[in-house]
Amino acid sequence: MWRTEGVPVDWPELKKRRNLILTDTCWELLQKEAEQQGISRSEFIERAVRGLIDWSGRA
């Protein structure tokens, strides 16, 4: 799906830029998990926090 600035695509609201401070290990694990799902790190966090990805027991 083509993305248009200012128009939500996956969620009923727009995302906003945030800042996280993570260890290198966490960042690499996050990248690996996101790549396996075929999504961005941002989208992986969004889905995981919403309970749409079960990543318990991974690390």
Q: What string of pLDDT tens digits covers the 59 residues of the chain?
A: 565 666 656 767 888 899 999 999 999 999 999 999 999 999 899 999 988 888 775 65
Q: So what's the pLDDT on residue 33?
A: 93
* 5 vs 25: CA distance, rounded Å: 32
Q: So what's the pLDDT on residue 58?
A: 63
Quick one: which H or E segment has residue 59? none
Q: So what's the pLDDT on residue 31?
A: 96
Look up the pTM and report it.
Answer: 0.75
- For the chain, the farthest-separated pair of C-alpha atoms sits apart, in whole angstroms, at 36
Backbone CA torsion sign across 40, 43, 48, 49: positive
Contacts of residue 46, Cβ cutoff 8 Å, sequence gap at least 6: 10, 11, 15
* 14 vs 11: CA distance, rounded Å: 7
**Mean pLDDT estimate for the chain:** 83
